[in-house]
Amino acid sequence: MKNFIIFGSPGAGKGTQAELLAKKYNLAHLSSGAILRNALQNGLISDNTNKYLKAGNLVPEKTIINLMTETIGRQKKNQGLIFDGFPRTLNQAEKLDEILKEKNLTISKVLEIKINEKEGTKRILERAKTSGRNDDNKKILNNRFRVYRQEMTPIKNYYRTQKKLVSIDGCRTVEEIFQNLSAEIEKNI
Ligand code: ADP
Query: What is the position in ligand 1's atom list of the atom closest to the CA of 60?
Result: 25
pLDDT at 1 (0 to 100): 77
Atom of ligand 1 nearest to the CA of 57: 16
In angstroms, the Cα distances linking 145 to 43, 110, 169 are: 28, 20, 18
The residue whose CB lies within 8 Å of the most ligand 1 atoms, and thus the one to mutate among 51, 72, 89, 135, is 135
* 144-164 b/e (C-beta count within 10 Å ≥ 16 → b): bbebbeebbeebbebbeeeeb
Taking the centre of ligand 1 as the mean of its atom positions, its distance from the CA of residue 134, in whole angstroms, is 13
Q: Quick one: DSSP state of residue 159?
A: H
pLDDT of residue 3: 98
85: CB partners within 8 A, 6+ apart: 14, 31, 32, 33
Task: Kindly list the domain boundaries of the chain, sorted by start residue.
Answer: 3-186
pTM of the model as a whole = 0.97
CA 102, CA 99: separation in Å to the nearest integer?
Answer: 6
Confidence (pLDDT) at 102: 95
Q: What is the reported pLDDT for 189? A: 83
Fold of 3-186: Rossmann fold (3.40.50)
Per-residue pLDDT for the chain (189 aa), expressed as one digit of tens each?
799 999 999 999 999 999 999 999 999 999 999 999 999 999 999 999 999 999 999 999 999 999 999 999 999 999 999 999 999 999 999 999 999 999 999 999 999 999 999 999 999 999 999 999 999 999 999 999 999 999 999 999 999 999 999 999 999 999 999 999 999 999 988
